[in-house]
Amino acid sequence: ADVKKIAVIAGDGIGPEVVAEAIKVMNKTEELFGYKFSFEQGLFGGIAIDEKGTPLPQDTLDMCKRADAVLLGAVGGPKWDNNPKELRPETGLLGIRKALGLFSNIRPATIFDCLKEASTLKPEVLEGTDLIVVRELTGGIYFGEKFRREGENGQEAVDTCVYNVAEVERIVRQAFEIAQKRRKFLTSVDKANVLETSRLWREVVNRIAPEYPDVELEHVLVDNCAMQLLRRPSSFDVIVTENMFGDILSDEAAMLTGSIGMLSSASLGEGAFGLYEPVHGSAPDIAGRGIANPIATILSVALMFRLTFGYEDAAKSIEDAVAEVLNAGHRTGDIAVDKSKAIGTQAMGELIVAAMRK
Ligand code: NAD
Ligand code: IPM
Ligand code: MN
């Protein structure tokens, strides 16, 4: 049979806790649908710094390159927060995205109706909200030159933001194509009133737009977009934006769904290969307590099945199982209105596995 190789890099904090539940979901998928997966685990992030002296060991990267898809938990934590750049878990995360050519980060914010009460927004504002943030992932200020220098008034720090035309084109094309398969409405977010990279971004978007005449396009400045996301979330369909704006806006969009523990993501390049991870981080404040919400990671597996393997039936089965468990009233602490009734990470994972059907 066609065995899909999945590289698993659980990372730090709640990473291993939520990834364990996602693996149960993949095992259940094999049972139900007859698909076959082989798993390989690798060290990544803070734990890799501790054990191998680097956040992205060569053998972990090689393992990912051999795989058909990567499942990632999360990295980072206070233990490594004062380390120099090369010894930071986050540097490993940026490194793996770059090394694997994953320039496109897809972050869907889909509202489960029964979770409207879990959001901090009014239910009527959330009505009909179903949006995707398409975040450029391997350029911009994250990857520009960074340095310190002595200025006239003492030490200065410099981060440079660079985008070239080709980088903007490929992410914007992906976003247009995603919009074509949805409600055909694309919002390009920039800060073209101030930033030169944003002016280039907007030029490229406008030049490409006529190739997608069926998609309606709007340009929104990022500060306004942050506000509009809370004012009229249901009016957005696909949002495309540069690396840092996408990082910030997707965490904001998470709260439309009730919790950052609900937001999944796919990081893609030109081909089918992808890296799948929750949008949230290692949550050091709740790590090790078995209370993290595993749904973001489990929904990331559904994205892997759909986008890398074309297993739509299995993807749907996972999403339906999540909906069923939530509809039945089961909640982890982050999405529970009555926190005293909250269930743990494992219980949530196992309920979802039990609810999966062919
Ligand atoms: P975070 O996303 O880890 O946590 C923010 C808040 O959300 C915390 O209160 C946390 O408890 C809660 N939360 C997050 N995920 C949750 C889940 N699944 N269930 C329930 N609650 C959840 O962001 P942070 O605190 O700013 O960052 C912590 C560390 O994680 C930092 O080192 C940061 O660099 C790193 N980080 C890593 C990634 C990644 O690996 N992709 C993403 C973001 C942050
Ligand atoms: C994310 C994270 C990362 C990012 C950090 C940990 C480097 O916040 O995946 O959203 O900013 O891309
Ligand atoms: Mn982030």
Domain endpoint, select from 208, 225, 257? 257
Is residue 8 in some structural domain? yes
Say what the pLDDT of residue 257 is.
95
Instruction: Tell me whether residue 113 is in a domain.
Output: no
Domain assignment present for 114: no
Other beta carbons less than 10 A from residue 118's beta carbon = 19
Residue ranges of the annotated binding site for substrate are 97, 107, 135, 223
pLDDT for position 313? 98
Query: How far is Cα of residue 172 from the mean position of the Cα atoms in its chain?
Result: 18
Q: Quickly tell me which residue has 């977010």 as its tokens.
A: 189
141 inside domain:
yes
State the closest ligand 1 atom to the C-alpha of 80, by its place in the atom list counted from 1. Answer: 32
In terms of domains, do 191 and 214 share one?
Answer: yes
How far is it, in rounded angstroms, from Cα 251 to Cα 51? 31
- Structure token digits, residue 72: 């990632």
Domain for residue 110, yes or no? no
**Chain centroid to CA 43:** 20
Residues of the chain scoring pLDDT < 70: 1
Residues 129, 166, single domain; the answer is yes
- What pLDDT score was predicted for residue 299? 98
Does some domain include residue 112? no
pTM higher than the cut 0.80: yes
Examine the predicted complex and report whether its ipTM is higher than 0.90. yes
Domain range spanning residue 129?
120-257
155 lies in the same domain as 90:
no
Residues 166 and 240 placed together within one structural domain of the fold: yes
| CA–CA dist 61, 85 (Å, integer) | 19
Residues 141 and 248 in one domain: yes
Q: Which residues are catalytic?
A: 142, 191, 223, 247, 251
Instruction: Name the residue type at position 165.
Output: V
Residue nearest atom 7 of ligand 2, based on CA coordinates: 90
Q: What is the DSSP letter of 310?
A: -
Distance 34 CA to ligand 1 centre (A): 34
Q: Which SS3 state, helix, strand or coil, does residue 253 take?
A: helix
3-state helix, strand, coil in the chain (%, to 5): 50, 20, 30
Q: How far apart, in whole angstroms, are the C-alpha atoms of residue 64 and residue 70?
A: 6
Shared-domain flag, residues 99 and 130: no
Q: What are the structure tokens assigned to 150, written together?
A: 């002595």
What pLDDT shows up at residue 98? 98
Domain boundary (257, 280, 303) is at 257
How many domains are contained in the chain?
A: 2
Within-domain flag for 327: yes
Do 288 and 240 belong together in one domain?
A: no
Alpha-carbon torsion, ordered 72, 19, 238, 67, to 10 deg = 40
Residue 200 contacts residue 168 (beta carbons within 8 Å): yes
Closest CA relative to residue 186, chosen from 215, 223, 222: 215
Domain end point (choices 257, 273, 297): 257
Task: Identify the CATH number of the domain in which residue 236 sits.
Answer: 3.40.718.10
Q: Which residues line ligand 2 (CB under 6 A)?
A: 76, 90, 93-94, 247, 279, 281
Q: List residues bridging with 238 in a β-sheet.
A: 132, 186
308 Cα: distance to centroid of ligand 1 (angstroms): 26
Q: How far is CA 19 from CA 16, 65, 171, in A?
A: 5, 20, 28
Q: Are residues 296 and 216 in the same domain?
A: no
Residues 194 and 271 in one domain: no
**Residues 59 and 140 occupy one common structural domain:** no
What pLDDT, on a 0 to 100 scale, did the predictor assign at position 1?
A: 65
Q: Ligand 2: which of 102, 146, 247 to mutate, most ligand atoms within 8 Å of CB?
A: 247
Do 129 and 55 fall within a single domain?
no
Report the C-alpha gap between 230 and 258 in whole angstroms.
Answer: 13
**How far is CA 301 from each of CA 223, 231, 311, 317, rounded to the nearest angstrom?**
32, 31, 11, 11
Paired sense of beta strands 264-268 and 238-241, if any: unpaired
Same domain, yes or no, for 189 and 207? yes
d(CA 109, CA 90): 24
